[in-house]
């Protein structure tokens, strides 16, 4: 006896078709027309789109930052993910500069232990190399891959905390190439940005607005180019995280055209929010939108949408890193101290559907590619991202006609604000299954804390090998 999702339209990255989907235990048993309901529990998907559970490859749950910790832990964060239609997240484990990758792994596995409501995996951020010529940490990279962590994050921003220099970046890239792993890059020139930041503070420009102005699109473009060029030299596949503007996009496309194995994501916020609309420099309230890279001028949005449509950008993630306004207040009077990050894990699909599909910028198939299938392929999640026999029964039943108003008052995320407060969107997650178990029913969370399991990923050089 299984669960039969009947009368829906199955949407994949390639096409859409009226098909029934039979879930058996934790996996999909059959995808076909007219599967007999005899002996099965039937979920009527009439009028609904049946998609693979979505994957958010960029989240920061329970993450220490600037003297505080992101507001969502693995429980609230993955509940919010589920309600938003996301059944897998990839979070970031961060190496302390004085410590090891294994220590970071232990710390993050502990944060997630028994707490996740949907499946999760980890990227490993390398911030320092230990041993002669880095030998100890480079050896640990092999151990991470063996464990199923096949992507390594490198920060080109945040000097003295997370930032790495070019020699460390190159060494990690060489090792990643050898391991067929993927390097994920936070591409901003942190050294140049820090000079501008201190100049602004010296001029008394301390409000949230100046956080955005201090981090030039050119600093992102420079680092985007440099990291891809170094990866190309090292023979490594690279994935630029949270690409936010047209100048950085031009560098990505330039290097892609030259044959570099370079992929990139953008995030929901860069597609629909802007300096002009959200942080014109009028109030402290704009601290809601202090994240890195910052919001950009509106003129960057269309090129990002175009890049999603033409394939130069492969994924839309969130960089979900939530802080309450109380936490943001740490930076009142000094934007350097505002915890960086915004809440978005719950709203990603609503925003991408409404402003992408409803607006005619992307097709439903492209939506599935950007939110589900490409993330699984790029990050080596072989059981996820497609609806096919034998794959995990992670299923999203999407109602393209539901009208929904986004509000902090009704969200699952732990923040006391929404970046999209009062926005009306059409299209919402109705039912969600995670490995065969229903975790969302009629838009409400019905899952179990602790259901989520660690996803062991394969090393496939971002699907480019």
Q: Build a one-symbol-per-residue string for 421-450: x at contacts with Zn ion by CB under 5 A, - elsewhere.
A: ------------------------------
Pairwise CA distance, residues 133 & 47, whole Å: 59
Q: In terms of CB distance, is 232 or 319 closer to Zn ion? A: 319
CB of 322 to Zn ion, least distance (A): 12
Q: In terms of CB distance, is 319 or 399 closer to Zn ion? A: 319
Q: In terms of CB distance, is 348 or 354 closer to Zn ion? A: 348
Residues 287-326 that bind Zn ion (CB under 5 A): 319
- The tokens 């409400």 sit on which residue? 444
Q: In terms of CB distance, is 72 or 319 closer to Zn ion? A: 319
The DSSP result for 194-221, as a single string, is HHHHHHHHHTT--SHHHHHHHS-HHHHH
CB of 249 to Zn ion, least distance (A): 18
CB of 122 to Zn ion, least distance (A): 13
Q: In terms of CB distance, is 319 or 346 closer to Zn ion? A: 319
Roughly how many angstroms between the first and final C-alpha of the chain, as a whole number? 39
Q: Edge-to-edge strand order for the sheet containing 9-11?
A: 16-18, 9-11, 49-52, 395-405, 424-434, 437-441, 444-445
CB of 369 to Zn ion, least distance (A): 22
Pairwise CA distance, residues 182 & 464, whole Å: 10
CB of 172 to Zn ion, least distance (A): 18
Q: Mention every residue, 6+ apart, whose C-beta is less than 8 A from residue 199.
A: none
Residues facing residue 43 across a β-bridge: 5
188 is a site residue for Zn ion (CB under 5 A):
no
Return the H-helix or E-strand segment holding 153: strand 151-155
CB of 99 to Zn ion, least distance (A): 20
User: CB nearest Zn ion: which residue?
Assistant: 319
Q: Report whether 344 contacts 58 (CB < 8 A).
A: no
Q: Report whether 187 contacts 156 (CB < 8 A).
A: yes
- The tokens 């890279």 sit on which residue? 293
Q: In terms of CB distance, is 125 or 371 closer to Zn ion? A: 125
CB of 16 to Zn ion, least distance (A): 32
Tokens of 260: 């570099």
Q: In terms of CB distance, is 239 or 404 closer to Zn ion? A: 239
The residues binding Zn ion (CB under 5 A) are: 319
């Amino acid at each position: 006896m299984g669960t039969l999702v009947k009368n829906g339209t199955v949407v994949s990255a390639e096409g859409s078709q009226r098909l029934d989907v039979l879930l058996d235990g934790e996996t999909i048993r059959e995808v076909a027309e007219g599967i007999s309901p005899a002996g099965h529990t039937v979920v009527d998907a009439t009028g609904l789109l049946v998609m693979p559970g979505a994957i958010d490859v960029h989240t920061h749950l329970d993450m220490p930052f600037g003297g505080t910790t992101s507001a969502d832990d693995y429980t609230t964060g993955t509940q919010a993910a589920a309600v938003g239609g996301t059944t897998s997240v990839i979070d970031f484990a961060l190496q302390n500069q004085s410590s090891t990758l294994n220590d970071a792994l232990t710390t993050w596995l502990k944060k997630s232990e028994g707490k996740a409501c949907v499946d999760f995996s980890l990227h490993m951020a390398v911030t320092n190399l230990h041993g002669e010529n880095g030998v100890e940490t480079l050896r640990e990279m092999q151990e991470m891959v063996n464990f199923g962590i096949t992507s390594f994050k490198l920060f080109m921003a945040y000097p003295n905390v997370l930032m790495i220099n070019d020699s460390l970046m190159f060494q990690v890239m060489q090792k990643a190439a050898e391991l067929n792993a993927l390097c994920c890059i936070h591409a901003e020139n942190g050294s140049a940005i820090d000079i501008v930041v201190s100049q602004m503070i010296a001029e008394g420009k301390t409000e949230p607005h100046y956080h955005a102005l201090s981090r030039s699109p050119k600093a992102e473009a420079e680092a985007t180019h440099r990291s891809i060029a170094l990866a190309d030299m090292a023979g490594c596949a690279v994935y630029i995280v949270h690409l936010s503007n047209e100048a950085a996009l031009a560098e990505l496309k330039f290097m892609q055209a030259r044959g570099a194995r370079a992929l990139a994501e953008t995030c929901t916020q860069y597609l629909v929010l802007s300096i002009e609309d959200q942080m014109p420099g009028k109030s402290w309230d704009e601290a809601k939108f202090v994240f890195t890279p910052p919001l950009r001028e509106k003129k960057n949005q269309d090129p990002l949408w175009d890049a999603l449509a033409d394939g130069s950008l492969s994924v839309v993630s969130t960089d979900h890193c939530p802080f309450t306004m109380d936490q943001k207040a740490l930076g009142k009077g000094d934007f350097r101290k505002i915890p960086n990050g915004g809440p978005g894990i719950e709203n990603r699909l609503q925003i991408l559907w409404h402003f992408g599909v409803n607006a005619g910028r992307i097709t439903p198939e492209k939506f599935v590619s950007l939110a589900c299938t490409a993330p699984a392929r790029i990050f080596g999640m072989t059981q996820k991202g497609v609806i096919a026999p034998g794959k995990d029964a992670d299923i999203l039943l999407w109602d393209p006609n539901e009208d929904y108003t986004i509000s902090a008052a009704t969200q699952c995320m732990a923040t006391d604000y929404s970046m999209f407060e009062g926005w009306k969107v059409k299209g919402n997650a109705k039912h969600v299954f995670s490995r065969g178990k229903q975790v969302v029913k009629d838009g409400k969370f019905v899952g179990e804390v602790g259901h989520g399991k660690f996803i062991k990923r394969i090393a496939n050089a971002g699907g480019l090998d």
